[in-house]
Amino acid sequence: MKIEIDLDELFQSEGETTEEAIRKSIIAHLSKEIRVDTKAQIKATIPDIITGSVKEYMANLLPNLIEEEFSPKTEWGEKLPKTSVRHQIIEGIKAQLKFTPNARWDSDKSVITKLVEDATKKIFEEFQQTLAKEINAQFTARALEEAKKQLAGKLGIKQ
């Protein structure tokens, strides 16, 4: 430990002996060092204490939280019947598993509706492409056949 004594402070005080001034300076310096060390120790230990307390509290709270009942409110502040977090999760899952094809907006559609519509759209696009290829192939074949007949008729070739 390093002790510094400011001689200007010692000799500026009137009515004090040198011994009292030195004692006063040492006590002030040691008090300051103790305060700094104490603050550092507090800053180092407080986060650990808080983290430990929060973990312990949450460990006791979370298992029971899902069953805890509460009274939800509407957008206008009207109370709704009591429910629990578990019930709200179940209702949310049920709502997302309903097929709602006539929803006005995409945001109103459930997850299952979006999945079905996306899969159906993909299947119809593939079908449309396949059908277009077949129609083009048949049209081309018939057009060539008709062209051959017309040309053979004009040239007088029998088939």
- pLDDT tens for each residue of the chain, 159 residues long: 676 766 666 555 566 677 777 788 888 888 888 999 999 999 989 988 999 888 888 887 777 888 888 888 988 989 999 998 889 889 888 888 888 888 788 788 888 888 898 999 999 999 999 999 999 999 999 999 999 888 888 888 776
The H-assigned helical ranges of 80-110 are 85-96
Predicted pLDDT of residue 92: 87
Contact 71, 84 (CB under 8 A): no
For residue 124, give its domain range: 69-155
Predicted pLDDT of residue 141: 92
The H-assigned helical ranges of the chain are 7-12, 18-65, 85-96, 111-155
Structure tokens at 124: 């119809």
For 155, counting Cβ atoms within 10 Å of its Cβ (0-12 exposed, 13-18 middle, 19+ buried), the class is exposed
Domain check: are 43 and 81 in the same one?
no
Predicted pLDDT of residue 5: 67
Domain end residue (candidates: 30, 49, 65): 65
Predicted pLDDT of residue 138: 93
The number of distinct structural domains making up the chain is 2
Domain check: are 130 and 74 in the same one?
yes
Predicted pLDDT of residue 8: 62
Domain check: are 47 and 107 in the same one?
no
